[in-house]
């Protein structure tokens, strides 16, 4: 069984797309995740196509803004749309040189697969509204590994936007360090989205009422409130766990059935070894350990969206 499990993991690695394996090249140990910006981009446009919406364009500036937001969350050790120093998501759009008329942000962490991230976002009304927003034309992604709130994780940031009609002007690097501990007062340069006067509504509503900090800034609520959403509704292991993990769970289930059947047979027949305390302890520990391992693997791909 051990040889089978190892073989499955090796086969799963070999079967991964080249761009997935390429991201781990040169690393002795890496995070067990199949999430990639390319995969997120493809699946985002698949979701939009399912609803009859035009595809988004992958924008290098939004890639940069998403990367800066991810780096800031790791640096200041927080999980929210607004930083502890009061920096709004829109600051990163401007800093990357993306002059927007509409803007939005989705966050995710602790997922194993791109499918899992997308399912988490689509299960949440606010995040789904960002993905399917008719006003957005561009998107950028960041997938970064690090330690957040004491836990090693893969952090995913998606920035959605629509460029303003005026030329793009990058934010001046004065008085704002790249890894901010920026006072709240520096939020003033962040532009308030002002779409051209049309009959269309303002950017989509958030998943929950805005926080006091967001309301005070009077920015377009293009980021869902940082709430954790459970992926157990609906439960979908096939999307949240990788293929190698699913096969490993299957093998462990077979092993669990074999052990359970063996020990039940010994118990039912009243064989001598069952009457010894150490054998019963051995049987209980075997069954318990395999059950716990299966549960840990099954829930490993369930993350949080924000």
How far, in Å, CA of 86 to CA of 184, rounded?
Answer: 5
Q: Could you tell me what percent of the chain has a pLDDT over 70? A: 65
Band of pLDDT at residue 20, cut at 50, 70 and 90? very low
Burial 174-204 (b: 16+ CB within 10 A, else e): eeeeeebebeeeebeebbebebeeeeeeebb
Band of pLDDT at residue 213, cut at 50, 70 and 90? very low
* Residue the block writes with tokens 């709130």: 149
pLDDT of residue 50: 94
How far, in Å, CA of 178 to CA of 72, rounded?
Answer: 9
Task: Give the tens place of pLDDT for each residue, 30-71.
Answer: 455 678 899 999 999 999 999 999 999 999 999 999 999 999
* Residue the block writes with tokens 């199949």: 34
Band of pLDDT at residue 91, cut at 50, 70 and 90? very high
Return the axis-axis angle of helices 2-15 and 243-268, rounded to nearest 10°: 170
Task: Give the tens place of pLDDT for each residue, 123-181.
Answer: 888 899 999 999 999 999 999 988 888 888 889 999 999 998 744 444 444 333 333 33
User: What's the pTM?
Assistant: 0.63
Q: Is 253 helix (H, G, I), strand (E, B) or coil?
A: helix
How far, in Å, CA of 89 to CA of 222, rounded?
Answer: 9
Between 208 and 114, whose confidence is greater? 114
Query: What value does the mean pLDDT of the chain take?
Result: 73
CB 305 within 8 A of CB 107: yes
Q: Could you tell me what percent of the chain has a pLDDT over 90? A: 31
Between 276 and 97, whose confidence is greater? 97
Task: Give the tens place of pLDDT for each residue, 221-272.
Answer: 465 544 444 454 445 665 666 677 778 888 888 988 999 898 888 888 888 8
């Amino acid at each position: 069984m051990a040889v089978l499990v190892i073989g499955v993991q090796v086969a799963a690695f070999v079967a991964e797309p080249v761009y997935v394996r390429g991201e781990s090249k040169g690393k002795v140990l890496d995070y067990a995740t199949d999430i990639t910006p390319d995969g997120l981009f493809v699946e985002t446009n698949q979701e939009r196509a399912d609803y009859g919406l035009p595809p988004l364009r992958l924008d290098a500036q939004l890639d940069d803004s998403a990367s800066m937001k991810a780096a800031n969350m790791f640096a200041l050790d927080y999980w929210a749309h607004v930083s502890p120093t009061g920096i709004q998501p829109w600051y990163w759009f401007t800093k990357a040189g993306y002059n927007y008329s509409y803007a939005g942000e989705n966050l995710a962490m602790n997922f194993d697969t791109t499918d899992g991230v997308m399912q988490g976002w689509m299960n949440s009304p606010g995040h789904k509204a960002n993905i399917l927003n008719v006003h957005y034309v561009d998107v950028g992604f960041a997938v970064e590994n690090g330690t957040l709130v004491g836990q090693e994780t893969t952090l995913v940031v998606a920035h959605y936007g629509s460029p303003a009609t005026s030329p793009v002007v990058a934010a001046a690097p004065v008085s704002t360090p790249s890894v901010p501990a920026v006072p709240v007062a520096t939020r003033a340069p962040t532009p308030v989205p002002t779409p051209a006067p049309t009959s269309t509504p303002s950017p989509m509503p958030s998943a929950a009422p805005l926080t006091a900090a967001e309301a005070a800034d009077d920015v377009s609520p293009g980021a869902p409130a940082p709430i954790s959403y459970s992926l157990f509704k609906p439960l979908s292991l096939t999307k949240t766990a990788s293929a190698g993990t699913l096969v490993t769970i299957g093998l462990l289930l077979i092993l669990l059935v074999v052990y359970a059947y063996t020990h039940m047979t010994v118990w039912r027949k009243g064989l001598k070894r069952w009457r010894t305390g150490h054998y019963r302890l051995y049987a209980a520990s075997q069954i318990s350990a395999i059950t716990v391992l299966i549960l840990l693997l099954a829930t490993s791909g369930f993350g949080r969206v924000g």
